[in-house]
Amino acid sequence: GDSWGIFTFLCAALCNLPALPALNCTEELGPGQSIQKTYDLTRYLEHQLRTLAGTYLNYLGPPFNEPDFNPPRLARAERVPSATVDLDLWRGLTDNARLAANYRAYSRVLCSLRALDGQGTAELRHRLGHFCSSLQGLVLSIAGVMSSLGYPLPAGPPPQPGGAPTQPGGAAPNDFLKKMDDFWLLKELQTWLWRSAKDFNRLKKKVPPAVVTLRMEARGF
């Protein structure tokens, strides 16, 4: 009883000690560690998305929040490139192409989610804001991996802080179509997060940490 309390207290007090060395880390992560970090971020976002999607779909109202809801996908310009891809094509992707596809997709998602800013209940806006911060972290993390492997970032509309993207198909012409667009955006985002976990797992195997260490030693020579 009390001894557990003391233990908790001591841990809390020790955490307040200045200059814990492990936290002062400003060293650059090697590509292996960056890939692991990006992988972890996709899992975290996947978890966050479940809560966000629940809140957002409830805001859209039934039938959008019903479990088997499956509306038609109208052939308008997609806001986000599809995550679904032929398995052989996926296997055959170069590291650069694989990373670039992820970078492009999440940049577009971020843009679209930011365009939703201001709508919805206070709870929804709060959750969206939090999710966008994490998503921004993921985009930057992917950019970090690409640069540490020497790949250039894909050109194209960068994620803008508040601007809505100029979509080729134009914005949804009515509120109901906009709700359907938002529904599919969330679905596509979910698929991307599932796929990214596999993408980064594959990249992890191709860039093991040991290789990184050797490279760093060679540079210091």
Partner 1 sequence: PFVSPAADPAVISPQDPTLLIGSSLVATCTVSPDFHLKAEDLYWTLNGRRLPAASYAALGPTTLSVALARLNGSKQQSGDNLVCHSRDGGILAGSCLYVGLPPEKPVNITCWSKNMKDLTCKWAPGTEGETFLHTNYTLKYKLRWYGRDNTCQEYHTAGPYSCHIPKDLALFTPYEIWVEASNRLGVAVSDVVMLDILDVVTTDPPSDVHVSRVGDLEDQLSVRWSSPPALKDFLFQAKYQIQYRVEDSSEWKVVDDVGNQTSCRLAGLRPGTVYFVQVRCNPFGIYGSKKAGIWSDWSNPTAASTPRSERAAGGCDPKGGEQNTTLRRELKQFFGWVKKHAYGCSNLGIKLYDQWRVWLQKSHKTRNQV
CB of 1 vs partner 1, minimal distance in Å: 10
Contacts with partner 1 by CB under 8 A lie at 2, 5-6, 9, 12-14, 16-19, 58-64, 66, 70-75, 119-122, 174-177, 179-180
CB of 60 vs partner 1, minimal distance in Å: 6
The rounded radius of gyration (Å) of the Cα atoms in the chain is 21
Q: Which is nearer to partner 1, 163 or 173 (CB)?
A: 173
Kindly give, in sequence order, each residue whose CB lies less than 8 Å from that of residue 123, ignoring residues fewer than 6 positions away.
55
Kindly give, in sequence order, each residue whose CB lies less than 8 Å from that of residue 116, ignoring residues fewer than 6 positions away.
128, 182
CB of 120 vs partner 1, minimal distance in Å: 7
Q: Which is nearer to partner 1, 5 or 170 (CB)?
A: 5
Instruction: Read off the tokens for 126.
Output: 């709060």
* Length of the chain measured in residues: 221
CB of 66 vs partner 1, minimal distance in Å: 6
Q: Which is nearer to partner 1, 9 or 194 (CB)?
A: 9
Q: Which is nearer to partner 1, 13 or 210 (CB)?
A: 13
DSSP designation for 24: G
Q: Shortest CA distance to 48 belongs to which of 113, 117, 142?
A: 113
Distance CA 127, CA 188 (A): 19
